[in-house]
Structure 1
Amino acid sequence: MKIQLWCLVLGAETPPFGVLAEPNSSVESLRFTIKGSSSALHLVGVERIRLYVAKQENGEWLALDAPQLQTLMRGDQETTASSMCGSRLEELDKVRDHFQEVDAQNIHILVKVDEPTVEFRNLTQLQCLFVWEDKGTFVSLDVKTTDRLEQLQVAIKEEMAGVYPVGDARRLELYASKNWSGEWLNSKADMRLLVKGERSVVDTWLRRRIDPMSTVGDLFSSSPAYSTQDRTVKTHTQKG
C-alpha cells in the first residue's frame, strides 16, 4: 500500500504538497516523483534535488501548521532550515527505511535544491514563438546569459532549420514579449491572434524590439534555483 508523504521545498515560497510512494521504492525514484509534483522544481535538474527527513532537533516531526513553516518556505539560512537538513535520504535507501507510520498532519520531507554550477548559472532557457506568414511554431532554446542579439538570431535560425529556411539570421526581428503591465506572454488565445496578425494583439506584445547591444541576461532575468516557463516567454517574427 502506498503512503502519502508531505514535502516542502526550501526557499521556493510554495506551500507543502503531498506525494504517494511505495514503501519498497527507492529514494531515487522518490526524487523523480517529487520533482514532477512541484511547479517550483519544473526546470530544476533532478541531480540538484536533495531530500531530508523533516524532523526537528528534538526528534519531533515538523507539523503542517508549525510556526517556522513560513521561514522555511523563504529558505532563511539563519533559522532551523540548516539544522533540519541533517538526516539526508540517500538515493539507494528505501522509502520504508525512513517512513513506516506517518501522520498526515506532519511534513515528512524537506526538499533542498543545490546551488547550480557556474556553467549552469550562465545558461537560461527561453521559450520562443516563431511567426511567419500565417503560421507559428514554438522553439525552446538554452542560451548563454551573455549572448547578444546576433547570437540569439543564429540560435533560432539553427533550431528552425527543419521547419522554415530562415536564410540570413540578421533578418529576424526579435521582441521581448512583455505587455504594458510588464507581464510575460502566456495566453494561448493571444498567441493564436499573434500568428493571425491581429493588430491590437500585435501592438500589445510586439512593442519592445530587442536592442542589439542588450544581452540575454539583461532582458530575461530568472532565479538561479527556481524558474517557470511563463517568465521567459518571448515572441519574435521574421519578415521577408
Structure 2
Amino acid sequence: MIKLKISLIPVTKYSVGVSAPKEKRTVFYSGLYRKNKFIPPSTIKGLLRSAAVQVEGDRSCEFKISKKLLEMGESNSVNEGESGGIPSNCGDLQNVLEGNMEVHGKVKSMVDEILRTLTIPCRVCRVFGNSRMRGKARIVFPNLRDSIVGPYVLPIGQSMPRRTFSIRDVKDLQFSYELAQNKEQRNPDGILRVEATDATIEFFVICEDEECKELVKEAVKLIDQGLIRLGRYKSRGFGILKANIEEIRD
C-alpha cells in the first residue's frame, strides 16, 4: 500500500452542502447533529476523480461519453422518444457489452463508437472505481483508524483563521456570504445566504499500486493550478484551491 498526504489550501472560500429553499440558504452537511458540519469523503473523491478525468482526456470513459453527448446535442434529449439508458462510466459500458443495460438509437451508435476506441476499464475507473468495480484509491481523514472512512468535520465562519482543522473540531457557525439571486427564483428579496469556509482540508489517499499513485499526483497538480474547484458556486469564484501532496513512508 502507498500512503499519500494531501492538503487543500483555499484561495477562495468553498461551500459544500445542500440547499434549504424555504430558508433561502445553502448549508454544509450536518447529519444528525446540526453543529457537526462536515465534508463527505465522496466529495473529496469526486474532486480527485474530476481532476483525473481532465488529466486523462480521451483515454477516460467519462470524458469520451461527455464529449459525444455534446456532439449529439442536449443529453436529456438524446433518448427522446426512446427507451434505454445513457452510460456514464466503464461499468455501464461493460453492462452494455454483456447485455445487462439497454441502449437504443443514437446512444447505441455512440456506445459502439466508444467501445471501438477505448480500453475498458479506463485508468480513472481502475483507480476510483465505477458501478461494477471497487477502485484502488481510498480516502482517509486524520484522526480516524485506517479501517474507517468518515466525514471531515470543520468549523465555518467568515472570521475563522486559515489553518488545518481535524475531525474532532466543532465550532459555532455563521453565514459568511450573501449572494444576489434572480428574484424570479422564488426568492423575493433576491438574496441567497451561503455557509462558506476557508479551512484547510487534510486527508490521506491509500493507493494499492503505482498506477493509482501517479494518477492521484497528476490530479492534485491540476487542482493546484486552479483548474478544478471544490463545492458549489464555482462559477462565482468559490472553491479555488492550492494543493500539496507528499508520499508518507512508514
TM over 0.5: no
The interval holding the TM-score normalised by the smaller chain is: under 0.3
TM-score (norm 1): 0.22
TM-score (norm 2): 0.21
